[in-house]
Amino acid sequence: MIRSRLGILFFLMVLMGLAGCRLFKSVGRNPDGDALAKLQALPNYKNGSFENLAEQADTTRKRSFLFLRTHKPKTVRPSKPLPWVKTDLNKLASPAPTVVWFGHSSLLIKTMQGNILIDPIFSNHAGPVPGLIRAFPGTGHYQAEDMPPIDVLLISHDHYDHLDYRTLKRLKNKIKLAVVPMGVGSNLIYWGFDPKKIIELNWDECTTLPSGLQITATPAQHKSNRTYSSENKTLWASYVIQTDAYKLFYGGDGGYGPQFKKIGDTYGPFDIAFLEAGQYSPNWPWTHLWLGKAAEAAVDLKAGMLQPIHWGKFVEAAHPWNEAIEKLVPAAQKANILLNVPKIGEPYMLGDPPKTDVWWDFK
């Protein structure tokens, strides 16, 4: 069943690419005209696409078919609904930044300088077609309507599990400002967002909100595309978030590389780092963090605490749904990194003891 759904999705992405990305509104729009000319002047945009700091042979495309043929254990999905906590997001206390995780990579961070919503996906599926990549039971209790007013929306890159058309359509009137990597703003404009409320950043560019909240885009080792034929037409990024005396790092998607140490040396230390810990595969060995590598990256970043993201909602690789966190716990202990693993919807305030309940210990 997983194989057939992903096969259909891959086929649809090929068709959408051949059709010029107009079969579905959710596919979005690549930069063109003046927006494209702006990208073409950037040093990390070469030969019609963005490049990583250290380019590696990209086997993802040729190996994607291997993922579709790979045997998937029954434990790629949990056997029962995930536990969750009901929180009134409009009444969060925030003497220090307070974080609420909604599964996968979606986070709400409430600070004294504003509400930050990162990579929200509340559609209960990932991809342009509903029902193909379904969210796990227990992860769909929070919806766009539950969100408080959003002072800044942060998007890490244009993949469907991070940039979701249906979610943003429902959130649009709550969002005061969007900060996105270069080129991603073309999607938002196509979906009806006011261009004046969109800030595009290249790596190591910074914007400061009127409240004083400061956001810096930093490199990540990843890629972008919403169709098979539109690879790397927009940028991908991680983010440094500085609010009052606190520094937070959001890794988005990205494999391990020297960028983590450089970011730690330049912008660290960090009070907490949100780093991916799931959907890894030998079929895409350099675009996602491998087993336990999030702990090593947290050390490079000089992070005092690590919270895993990019897990606990969707099947995007052929490993048990909770394998990544089970591997990460001993890796973090070995690296002497505090690990914070809240339940979906469970608020965590920086400075409090980390959430350590082993709520994922079932198949």
| pLDDT value at 166 more than 60 | yes
DSSP string, 304-344: SEEEEESBSS---SSS-TTHHHHHHHHHHHHHT-EE--PPB
Confidence of residue 7 (pLDDT cuts 50, 70, 90): very low
Amino acid 55: pLDDT = 63
| pLDDT value at 238 more than 50 | yes
In-domain check, residue 359: no
Q: Which amino acid is at 209?
A: L
Confidence of residue 303 (pLDDT cuts 50, 70, 90): very high
In-domain check, residue 56: yes
In-domain check, residue 357: no
| pLDDT value at 33 more than 90 | yes
The whole-number average pLDDT for the span 203-222 is 97
Confidence of residue 72 (pLDDT cuts 50, 70, 90): low
Looking up tokens 């980390």 gives: 354
What digits encode the pLDDT tens for the residues 134-149?
999 999 999 999 999 9
**Among 202, 172, 209, residue whose Cα is nearest residue 50:** 202
In-domain check, residue 358: no
The whole-number average pLDDT for the span 66-83 is 74
Q: What is the number of domains present in the chain? A: 1
In-domain check, residue 265: yes
Q: Give the rounded distance of the alpha carbon of 201 from its chain centre.
A: 16
Amino acid 94: pLDDT = 81
| pLDDT value at 70 more than 80 | no
What digits encode the pLDDT tens for the residues 321-358?
999 999 999 999 999 999 999 999 999 999 999 999 99
Confidence of residue 18 (pLDDT cuts 50, 70, 90): very low
| pLDDT value at 260 more than 90 | yes
In-domain check, residue 354: no
Q: What is the pTM of this model?
A: 0.91
In-domain check, residue 61: yes
Q: Residue 321 is part of which domain span?
A: 2-349
In-domain check, residue 326: yes
What digits encode the pLDDT tens for the residues 20-31?
444 589 999 999
What is the CATH classification number for the domain harbouring 6? 3.60.15.10
